[in-house]
Amino acid sequence: MADVLIWADTLRSPEMRHEVPVPIPDAFLYLEHSGQRHVVITPFEVERVQGQDGLQPHPFEEFGWDDLVKQGIPMEEVGLGTAVRAVKELGVENAVVPATFPVALADELRAEGIEITPDRETFVQRRRAKNQAELDGIRRAQRGAEAGMDAARELFRRAERRKGSLVLDGEPLTCERVKIAIQQAFTSLNLLCDEFIVSHGPQTAVGHEMGAGEIRPDEPIVLDLWPRDRASSCYADMTRTFVVGEPSEELVTYHKLVREVLERTLAAVKPGVAGRDVYVLASERFHEAGYPTGLHKRDGEVLEDGFFHGLGHGVGLEVHEQPWLSRYPGELIEGDVITLEPGLYRSGFGGCRLEDLVLVTRDGAELLTDYPYELQP
């Protein structure tokens, strides 16, 4: 079994956060050798790492930090130099590293005769099947996403129609006001979310358009929320489409078909199924109904209408991670957490997307999302 090296912090690196489940803002070294799991880190953080799932913390000073500081070199070089010494003294001769491993550190290690091999797939597979702490965090984040939907839906319910506009407490109802209410719901549940989608009208047909401006009666409103649980750093992801007023016949048609596809694809999820096959199931249904899809388009064609994105993706320490439910290869495994998010769109009009979060179980799937689908709030 190959040795493993990671140099990163746990706030930005999902590979490091999976191994060291503690929020640490500065880069440090994680090392696996001969069945032992070592962490080389500032003494400021040693006590926080101690006792975490068999980790053996070592302060930087154990590997000559002070000697390097006396040389008057920049702090970043001191850190990398300490990491090189630790790797050598702990007996690593060759190791796999994440694709994001720093080139500067890789160069220094190779100069010392240590073989470094970037291997993205190794680190993807280490965290594909969610452990219990991660799954608990995903469930908390999902409950928070639903609370955010509730906060938005309450504003939609309270809004009044006046002269072609929506008014709430005497002021126009805007995407910005809805986002504030959602963010407050997240904060109250100890969730983090830098950005999320509250789009309206034609904006809803533009990919990850985050949304802005005044929401009008009778137009589609898409809410796509991906809050992150602070304790585990794991995400949830869900989408619903609403209309304040009366939805158009076109949007009602989209919604009915999207919901049907959501139900069909959920029934197809189980271990061993190719993610591409579930995507094909969705695409074939939309194609049969007369809508363009990414599966059926010409090579090089860029779609603006129809079903032009993947069906879903993995969710965990990243909001978009393997497995992919699209045209790419790969099978679902027990312990995957995935999204199913079919959608239909027309440029200049808008669209409808419904997204649920799903746990792949031993013999099928568990729906983690618990939220209604109706267009009218």
Length of the chain in terms of residues written: 377
Last residue of a domain, one of 81, 97, 126: 126
Q: What is the pLDDT of residue 63?
A: 97
Q: What is the pLDDT of residue 35?
A: 93
Last residue of a domain, one of 97, 126, 155: 126
Answer yes or no: do 103 and 243 share one domain: no
Question: What CATH number is given to the structural domain containing 323?
Answer: 3.90.230.10
Establish if 235 belongs to a structural domain.
yes
Answer yes or no: do 236 and 97 share one domain: no
Answer yes or no: do 340 and 231 share one domain: yes
Amino acid letter at 158?
R
Establish if 374 belongs to a structural domain.
no
Q: What is the pLDDT of residue 53?
A: 85
Query: Residue 234 sits in which domain range?
Result: 132-367
Answer yes or no: do 185 and 298 share one domain: yes
DSSP state of 130: P
Q: What is the pLDDT of residue 51?
A: 84
Residues 19, 29: Cα–Cα separation, whole Å: 11
Last residue of a domain, one of 84, 106, 126: 126
Residues 24, 9: Cα–Cα separation, whole Å: 6
Answer yes or no: do 77 and 115 share one domain: yes
Establish if 173 belongs to a structural domain.
yes
Which tokens belong to 359? 């746990």
Answer yes or no: do 208 and 60 share one domain: no
Specify the long-range contacts of residues 84-90, CB closer than 8 Å, at least 24 apart: 84/108, 84/109, 84/112, 86/29, 86/31, 86/38, 86/40, 86/58, 86/62, 87/5, 87/29, 87/31, 87/112, 87/114, 88/112, 88/114, 89/63, 90/31, 90/33, 90/38
Answer yes or no: do 120 and 163 share one domain: no
Q: Helix, strand, or coil here: 347?
A: coil
Answer yes or no: do 162 and 284 share one domain: yes
DSSP state of 143: H
Q: What is the pLDDT along the chain (377 residues), one digit of tens a residue?
A: 789 999 999 999 999 999 999 999 999 999 999 999 999 999 999 999 998 889 999 999 999 999 999 999 999 999 999 999 999 999 999 999 999 999 999 999 999 999 999 999 999 999 999 999 999 999 999 999 999 999 999 999 999 999 899 999 999 999 999 999 999 999 999 999 999 999 999 999 999 999 999 999 999 999 999 999 999 999 999 999 999 999 999 999 999 999 999 999 999 999 999 999 999 999 999 999 999 999 999 999 999 999 999 999 999 999 999 999 999 999 999 999 999 999 999 999 999 999 999 999 999 999 999 999 999 99
